[in-house]
Amino acid sequence: MLSSSMEVYENYEIKMLPPWESDGSKVSVKVPGPTLTYQNIQYCIRENRGLCRKRGPERDILKNVSGIMKTGLNAIMGATGSGKTSLLDVIAGRKDPRGLRSGQILVDNKVVTSDLRLMSAYVVQDDILMGTLSVRENLLFSGNLRLPRKQYSTADKEKKVESIIQELGLEDCANTKIGTEFIRGVSGGERKRCSIGMELITSPSLLFLDEPTTGLDSNTANSIISLLHRLSRGGRTIIFSIHQPRYSIFKLFDHLTLLHKGETVYAGPTGKAMDYFQSLGYECEAFNNPADFFLDITNGETTPSRPTEKSLAELYRESQYCASVKEELKCITGPSDPSFEAKSKAPSYVTSFFYQLNVVCWRTMLNVVRNPQTSYAQMALNIICALLIGLIYYQMPLTLPEALQNRIGAFFFLIINMVFGNLSAVELFINERAIFVHENSGGYYRTSVYFLSKVFVDLLPNRIVPIFIFSSISYYMMGLNPTFTSFLCFALTMSLVSLAGVSLAFLISASVSSFAMANILIALPFVFMMVFGGFLVNLNSMLNWLSWLKWASIFKYGLDAVTINEMKGQVFYGGNITLTGEMYLKSQGIDYSVWGFWQNQVALLGIILVCMTFAYIQLRRINRWK
Ligand SMILES: Nc1ncnc2c1ncn2[C@@H]1O[C@H](COP(=O)(O)OP(=O)(O)OP(=O)(O)O)[C@@H](O)[C@H]1O
C-alpha cells in the first residue's frame, strides 16, 4: 500500500544500520515502504526547431534504463544533462507519456495509475508556495484540500499540520509568511521544508524530490537530507535527484543510481559504489569526496589504471549489480496489459467541488488582501482618471457645436480608459501558472474551482467596485443626464465594457506563459477594436468586407450604449438651430429604440461569456507534463 499514516510510523521502533554500511536493499524498518521498479525505460524528446517550430529528429534522453528503488534514500546522481530529472519525472509519472518509447514502471508490482500517482508525492525543485500565506496556512491549505473530510475533522487536520510543523522543525517560523517580492519571508531551508511538508500532509510512503538541495547552503542542504533520511526510516521510499552532494550528505544515501548521457553507469548500494569503480581501475585520492570522484569518472576527468574500449554503461551492464537487478526484475510480474489498466483509472479528488471552491476562494482573498498593491493601483487609477475626465469635460453645455463634440469625445475617452485600465488582468494566470499547474496536477483542486475563485475574488470586487466609484465621480462632474436611471445605465455599460476587456485579458493570460507575449497579443485586438469603435472612422462609409469587424468591437457597443443613454431626450441649441438627441443618433445610424440600447449590453455580455469560456478551456489545456 502506498499510504501509511504519519502518526503510525512515529511509533515504530526504528532499527537503523550504520548509514555507510547499509547495503541499500535492506534498510531495516518495521513496515517497509513501497518498492518502485522500472524496466527498459526508453524516453525520447523531439525538439521544435526554427521560427516555424519545425519538428526536429527524436533524441533519446533515457536509454533502456532499469532499476529498483526500495525503502530508504534513493539518490539519482549524474553530471548536468545526464538525465537525472528526466528519470525522476518518468518514474514519478510526471513526464509527458508521449515520449515514452518503451518500458514499464511498477509500484509494488502495480502499474502507476493516476490515483496511485496522486497518492505519492512530488516536491518540485523551485518551491511552489503561496508567498502571502504563512507556513502554517500553506500546510493547512494542503491539508484541507488533500485529506478526505469524512476521515479528518477540522481539528484532525490542524493536529496533523502541527505534527508536521514539529516533525520538520518549523515551529519558529510557523506563523511567518513564505515571502514575495514585496514581503521578506522565511529562509531558503525553511521554504524547502515547507514544500516537503505540503506533500507529507497526505502521509505518502513514496516521495519524489527534484534536486532538493539546489540553491541551499551546505548546512541547510545537510539538514534537509538528514530530515529525508529520518523520514525514510519511518518506512518511506524516498527518491530524489541531486547534483553534487558533500560527503556528509552522500553517506546518508542508501541506494545510488549514477547516470551518464541517459544511461546507467552504476545502480546499487551506495556503500558498494566505491568498490565497484575501484574494481574497474579507478583510484580515489585520499580526502576526495566520493560523490565528486564518481562525477569525475562519468565526466571522463579521471582515467582508470586499466584502460578499456568499453564505455562505463557497457561495463555496468556486464557487472553483477546489473545482473542482480535483472534477476530481481524477472521475478516481478506486472499486469498483462499495463496500458489498459493505466488508462482505466481517472484521477479523483478527495474533497467536493463546493468545499474546494470555499478553500481556494479564501486563499485567493487572503492573497489579494495581503498583496494589495494591484488593487490600490487599480482604485487610484480609476479615481484619478475620473477626476481628470470630470475636470476636462466639466459640466458640459447644451450649446452647439461643443455639446456634441465634447460628449462624443468624453465617451470615447471613458471607454478607452475602461478597456485599457484593465491591462493588469493579463498577469493573473501568468503569475500563478506554476502554482496552478503544481496544485492542479497534485490533486488539490479542479481547474474550474481555480478559475471561479479568480472570477469571484479577483474579477468582481477588484474590477467592478472601482468602476462604480469611477462612474459616480465622472458622471456627475461632466453634468450628464441627471436622472438616476441614466446614471445606473451608464455605470452598467462601463462595468460591462470593463469586464469584456478583462475577459479578453483573461483569455490571453490563460493562453500564454510570458508577459511579453501577453502584452503583444492584448494590444493588437484592443487597437483594432478601437478603430472599429465608430469614433475614429465612420463605420457606414467603410468597405463592406471590412466593416463587419465592428461587430467584434467592445468599443462600438460601449460607445453606442452610452451615446444612446445620454442623447435620447436631449435638446441642443446653436444660434437658431435646434437639434434633438434622436436626430443626432439617427444621423449616425444608431438604433435608439429600447432594444437598440439593450442589444449593446447583450453583445458585451456575449463577448464576456465567450472569452471566459475560452479562458477556462485554455486553462484546462495547459500542459501539466514536464
Ligand atoms: N522536455 C524537454 N524538452 C527538451 N529537452 C529536454 C526535455 N527534457 C529533458 N530534455 C533534455 O534531456 C537532457 C537531460 O535533461 P535532465 O533535465 O533530465 O538532465 P539533468 O541531469 O537533470 O540536468 P540538470 O542537473 O542540469 O538539471 C538534457 O539535455 C535536456 O536538455
Q: What is the DSSP string of 184-208?
A: ----HHHHHHHHHHHHHTT-BSEEE
Closest ligand 1 atom, residue 86 Cα: 18
Closest ligand 1 atom, residue 79 Cα: 21
- CA 400, distance to chain mean position in Å, is 56
Tell me how far the alpha carbon of residue 294 lies from the centroid of ligand 1, in angstroms.
Answer: 20
Tell me how far the alpha carbon of residue 238 lies from the centroid of ligand 1, in angstroms.
Answer: 21
| Residue 372: other Cβ atoms inside 10 A | 14
Tell me how far the alpha carbon of residue 215 lies from the centroid of ligand 1, in angstroms.
Answer: 18
Query: 278 and 305 in contact (C-beta within 8 Å)?
Result: no
Cβ of 99 less than 6 Å from ligand 1: no
Q: How far apart are CA 303 and CA 289, in angstroms?
A: 17
pLDDT at res. 163? 92
Tell me how far the alpha carbon of residue 290 lies from the centroid of ligand 1, in angstroms.
Answer: 24
Cβ of 606 less than 6 Å from ligand 1: no
Cβ of 298 less than 6 Å from ligand 1: no
Closest ligand 1 atom, residue 99 Cα: 1
Closest ligand 1 atom, residue 47 Cα: 4
Give, in degrees to the nearest 5, the angle at Cα 53 between 52 and 57: 125
Tell me how far the alpha carbon of residue 498 lies from the centroid of ligand 1, in angstroms.
Answer: 43
Q: What is the number of H-type helices and E-type strands within the chain?
A: 26, 12
Tell me how far the alpha carbon of residue 41 lies from the centroid of ligand 1, in angstroms.
Answer: 15
Cβ of 67 less than 6 Å from ligand 1: no
pTM: 0.84
Q: How far apart are CA 116 and CA 347, in angstroms?
A: 9
3-state helix, strand, coil in the chain (%, to 5): 55, 15, 30
Main-chain dihedrals φ then ψ at residue 239, nearest 5 degrees? -120, 130
Give, in degrees to the nearest 5, the angle at Cα 488 between 486 and 494: 105
Cβ of 449 less than 6 Å from ligand 1: no
Q: What is the largest CA-CA distance in the chain?
A: 111
Q: How far apart are CA 470 and CA 477, in angstroms?
A: 11
Nearest to 267 by CA among 302, 292, 294: 294
Residue with CA closest to ligand 1 atom 8: 86
Cβ of 128 less than 6 Å from ligand 1: no
| Residue 540: other Cβ atoms inside 10 A | 9
Task: State the pairing for strand pair 206-210/255-260.
Answer: unpaired
- CA 23, distance to chain mean position in Å, is 39
Residue with CA closest to ligand 1 atom 17: 85
| Residue 93: other Cβ atoms inside 10 A | 21
Cβ of 144 less than 6 Å from ligand 1: no
First to last CA, the chain: 26
Residue with CA closest to ligand 1 atom 9: 86
Query: 558 and 604 in contact (C-beta within 8 Å)?
Result: yes
Low-confidence ranges of the chain (pLDDT < 70): 1-30, 48-56, 113-119, 333-347, 539-540
- Type and span of the H or E element at 33: none
Cβ of 220 less than 6 Å from ligand 1: no
Cβ of 84 less than 6 Å from ligand 1: yes
- Measured between alpha carbons, how far is residue 194 from residues 2, 157, 189, 234, 550 in Å? 22, 16, 9, 19, 52
Domains of the chain: 18-116+232-336 (3.40.50.300), 353-621 (no CATH)
Sorted by sequence, the CB contacts under 8 Å of residue 50 that are 6+ apart come out as none
Main-chain dihedrals φ then ψ at residue 31, nearest 5 degrees? -115, 110
Query: 487 and 595 in contact (C-beta within 8 Å)?
Result: no
Cβ of 82 less than 6 Å from ligand 1: yes
Closest ligand 1 atom, residue 96 Cα: 1
Cβ of 61 less than 6 Å from ligand 1: yes
Main-chain dihedrals φ then ψ at residue 580, nearest 5 degrees? -90, 155
Q: For residue range 170-190, what is the model confidence (pLDDT) as tens digits? A: 999 999 999 988 888 899 889
Tell me how far the alpha carbon of residue 289 lies from the centroid of ligand 1, in angstroms.
Answer: 25
- Measured between alpha carbons, how far is residue 610 from residues 463, 498, 506 in Å? 19, 15, 11
Main-chain dihedrals φ then ψ at residue 193, nearest 5 degrees? -60, -40
Query: 249 and 277 in contact (C-beta within 8 Å)?
Result: no
Closest ligand 1 atom, residue 241 Cα: 22
Give the three cell numbers for residue 274. Answer: 566505491
Q: How far apart are CA 242 and CA 476, in angstroms?
A: 65
Cβ of 86 less than 6 Å from ligand 1: yes
Tell me how far the alpha carbon of residue 17 lies from the centroid of ligand 1, in angstroms.
Answer: 35
Q: How far apart are CA 387 and CA 393, in angstroms?
A: 10
Q: What is the 3-state secondary structure (H, E, C) of 208-271?
A: EEECCCCCCCHHHHHHHHHHHHHHHCCCCEEEEEECCCCHHHHCCCCEEEEEECCEEEEEEEHH
Q: How far apart are CA 409 and CA 578, in angstroms?
A: 21
Residue with CA closest to ligand 1 atom 2: 45
Query: 350 and 128 in contact (C-beta within 8 Å)?
Result: no
Cβ of 47 less than 6 Å from ligand 1: yes
Q: How far apart are CA 235 and CA 239, in angstroms?
A: 13
Give the three cell numbers for residue 36. Answer: 518502485
Sorted by sequence, the CB contacts under 8 Å of residue 106 that are 6+ apart come out as 36, 37, 38, 112, 332, 334
Cβ of 270 less than 6 Å from ligand 1: no
The side-by-side arrangement of strands in the sheet containing 255-260 is: 121-123, 206-210, 237-242, 72-78, 255-260, 263-269
Instruction: Enumerate the β-bridge partners of residue 580.
Output: 571
Query: 488 and 408 in contact (C-beta within 8 Å)?
Result: no
Query: 312 and 261 in contact (C-beta within 8 Å)?
Result: no
Tell me how far the alpha carbon of residue 617 lies from the centroid of ligand 1, in angstroms.
Answer: 29
Cβ of 45 less than 6 Å from ligand 1: yes
Q: Which amino acid is at 180?
A: T
- Mutation choice for ligand 1 from 41, 45, 55, 257, CB with most ligand atoms inside 8 A: 45
Give the three cell numbers for residue 150. Answer: 469524512
Sorted by sequence, the CB contacts under 8 Å of residue 178 that are 6+ apart come out as 129, 130, 131, 132, 133, 134, 135, 138, 185, 186, 191, 194
Q: How far apart are CA 80 and CA 261, in angstroms?
A: 9
Tell me how far the alpha carbon of residue 575 lies from the centroid of ligand 1, in angstroms.
Answer: 78
Tell me how far the alpha carbon of residue 399 lies from the centroid of ligand 1, in angstroms.
Answer: 71
Is residue 614 classed exposed, middle or buried when 0-12, 13-18 and 19+ CB atoms within 10 A define those classes? middle
* Backbone angle region of 277, left / alpha / beta, with phi > 0 → left and psi within -120 to 50 → alpha: alpha
